[in-house]
Amino acid sequence: MPIQALLFDVFGTLADWRSTIAREAKALVAPRGHDLDWEAFADAWRAEYQPAMEEVRSGRRGFVKLDTLHAENLDRILPRFGLAGLSEGERIVLNHIWHRLDAWPEVSEAMRRLSAAFRLGSCSNGNIAIMVDFARHNGFRFDAVLGSEVTGAYKPDARAYLGSVEAFGLEPGDCMMVAAHSSDLAAAARCGLKTAHIARPNERGPGKGEARPSVPVDHAARDLADLAAILGA
Amino acid sequence: MPIQALLFDVFGTLADWRSTIAREAKALVAPRGHDLDWEAFADAWRAEYQPAMEEVRSGRRGFVKLDTLHAENLDRILPRFGLAGLSEGERIVLNHIWHRLDAWPEVSEAMRRLSAAFRLGSCSNGNIAIMVDFARHNGFRFDAVLGSEVTGAYKPDARAYLGSVEAFGLEPGDCMMVAAHSSDLAAAARCGLKTAHIARPNERGPGKGEARPSVPVDHAARDLADLAAILGA
């Protein structure tokens, strides 16, 4: 049975979050007289991501969407960078950068090719509005935004994968999870999905990213255009 | 504040369900030696739609998705048409016709125009897989499939509208509900959404459909291309 649908991780796999956050935060805040290491700022914000979701995954907190966690995480890190004085309005604008992340260079064209051959779903921990705005910003569309907000669960919770598969009306083996993170793919494989790894060797800075998977996968691709070629799209 | 997103009713507004169900059911079943009034068959199937959802809306039944209700409704009507002998496999294939309904003639092109100007969400009682397959079958994409399965509520339950608005990260007044049914638009307006009526005078057969709204609306359009022109898309 051929693959019917591709499910995509987004932050890191499709989106170059680090460069966009660093550049756009600088553009917004530097004119107010702040000079700081903007890549370190992006890294610090992102470092709060897993701990915040873990509160939900562990059951200590009910499901809240990522826009809310991002805002709380921003409040947490601003004092470390001398930015405790930013207004609520400035914080809202900063938080919205996550809605207009740049895709990696080959992604938009590759997504349009893949869309002709497969149903495309986001299976991200980002909420629906982030995914909608990200896809529009980069000139493609998902067939459906799935993942955390639709399933009420954060990856690697199995419900995030299985709920996304079920929303498409498919079986896990009909679907392929596409991600730049071996842990994500390992969790998807445990749920019965096929897996494709996308190399993003510079995701978290030069040389700080997965150049290849550390777990068994069905396909390992150099980038999304390579995956499209592998899948014959 | 200009409109940011359009939320679409689908069955009747974007999709010509009656002609497609009649034609495709005939194509599947007539070769097995059955001759019947296929439009009446489509109407009978559709007539079970509101009562089945009312079981959920009333709270007598937990949320189940429309694919399941359609299948149950099909089982209910088949004996009336001398089709009680259809196999489970044949019933599954019949039920899947709802996934590949034809859009009304102007819809695909108009959706592509509207997509350039607005976020487009389905706000249908159909489940995610039906919406994904319908859009692909007709050559366009929603930005997000919202509505019943995402909100766990069937229109005109207010949660279906307000949950869809909230998924986009917007306020009700930023969104416009687009439908061929005055009751749908009245419910959306009560939630604070803007409204656009699409004339579908032949939805349920010649002359059996709304040629114009019976409630106050923000826009009344001849068809979706007319709405795109009205909205400057």
pLDDT, position A188: 98
Tokens read off for B205: 């057969």
Encode pLDDT of B8-54 as tens digits: 999 999 999 999 999 999 999 999 999 999 999 999 999 999 999 99
Q: Which of B132, B143, B145 is closest, CB to CB, to A135?
A: B143
Q: With bands split at pLDDT 50, 70 and 90, how would you rate the model's confidence at B85?
A: very high
- Looking at residue A48, its pLDDT comes to 97
DSSP category for residue A193: -
What percent of chain B has pLDDT above 70? Answer: 100
Query: Cα dihedral sign for A109, A110, A116, A119?
Result: negative
> Residue B137 burial by CB count (10 A; 0-12/13-18/19+): exposed, middle or buried?
middle
Best mutation site among B111, B114, B143, B175 for testing chain A: the one with the most A CBs within 10 Å?
B143
Interface test with A, best of B128, B131, B166 (most A CBs within 10 A): B128
- Of chain B residues 125-144, which have a CB less than 8 A from chain A? 127-129, 131-132, 135-136, 141-144
User: Cβ–Cβ of A119/B141 closer than 8 Å?
Assistant: no
Q: What is the 3-state secondary structure (H, E, C) of chain B?
A: CCCCEEEECCECCCECHHHHHHHHHHHHHHHHCCCCCHHHHHHHHHHCHHHHHHHHHCCCCCCCCHHHHHHHHHHHHHHHHCCCCCCHHHHHHHHHHHHCCCECCCHHHHHHHHHHHCEEEECCCCCHHHHHHHHHHCCCCCCEECCHHHHCCCCCCHHHHHHHHHHCCCCHHHEEEEECCHHHHHHHHHCCCEEEEECCCCCCCCCCCCCCCCCCCCEEECCHHHHHHHCCC
ipTM of the complex in this document? 0.96
Sheet holding B119-122, edge to edge: B144-145, B119-122, B5-8, B175-179, B194-198, B219-221
Q: Is the pLDDT of residue A115 over 90?
A: yes
pLDDT above 70 coverage of chain A, percent:
100
Per-residue pLDDT at A177: 98
Model confidence band, residue B83 (pLDDT cutoffs 50, 70, 90): very high
Is pLDDT above 80 for A148? yes
Mean pLDDT of B188-216: 98
Interchain CB distance below 8 Å, B168 and A143:
no
Mind listing the pLDDT tens digit for each residue in B63-76? Answer: 999 999 999 999 99
| Residue B79 buriedness (CB in 10 A; 0-12 / 13-18 / 19+) | exposed
Cα–Cα separations (whole angstroms), residue B69 to A120, A173, B73, B102: 26, 26, 6, 21
Residues of A in contact with B141 (CB under 8 A): 115, 141-143
- A67 CB neighbours in chain B (<8 A) are 169
Give the pLDDT confidence score for residue A80 in this predicted structure.
97
pLDDT exceeds 80 at position B84:
yes
What value does the mean pLDDT of chain A take? 97
**Alpha-carbon gap, residue B9 to A17, rounded angstroms:** 35
Predicted confidence (pLDDT) at residue B1 exceeds the cutoff of 80:
no
Write out pLDDT tens, residues A17-73: 999 999 999 999 999 999 999 999 999 999 999 999 999 999 999 999 999 999 999
CB contact under 8 A, B143 and A149: no
Partner A contacted by B168 (CB < 8 A): yes
Q: Which two tokens stand for residue B151?
A: 């909100």
Q: Which tokens hold the place of B185?
A: 């638009």
CA distance linking residue B73 with residue A91, whole number of Å: 51
pLDDT digits (tens, 9 = 90+) for A174-207: 999 999 999 999 999 999 999 999 999 999 999 9
Q: Which of B129, B142, B143 sits opposite A168 (nearest CB)?
A: B129
pLDDT in tens, B122-159: 999 999 999 999 999 999 999 999 999 999 999 999 99
Q: What is the pLDDT of residue A195?
A: 98
Q: What is the pLDDT of residue A105?
A: 98
pLDDT score, position B163: 98
Structure tokens at A149: 């907000």
Closest CA in chain A for residue B112: A141
How far, in Å, CA of B105 to CA of A26, rounded?
48
pLDDT at B116: 97
Closest to B7 measured CA to CA, from B203, B216, B227 = B227
CA B171 – CA B114 distance, rounded (Å): 20
Q: How many CB pairs under 8 A join A and B?
A: 60
Question: Has this prediction a pTM greater than 0.95?
Answer: yes
Residues in A closer than 8 angstroms to B169, CB to CB, are 67, 127-129
**What pLDDT digit, counting tens, does each position of A214-228 carry?**
999 999 999 999 999
The residue in chain B having the minimum alpha-carbon distance to the alpha carbon of residue A135 is B143
| Shortest Cα distance, chain A CAs vs residue B209, angstroms | 30
Q: Specify the pLDDT at position B119.
A: 98
pLDDT of residue A87: 97
Which DSSP category does A99 fall into?
A: G
pLDDT band at B232 (very low <50, low <70, confident <90, very high): very high
Q: Which residue of B has its CA nearest to A165?
A: B129
CB contact under 8 A, A169 and B115: no
The helix/strand/coil state of A105 is: coil
Nearest-angstrom CA–CA distance, A144 and A118 = 12
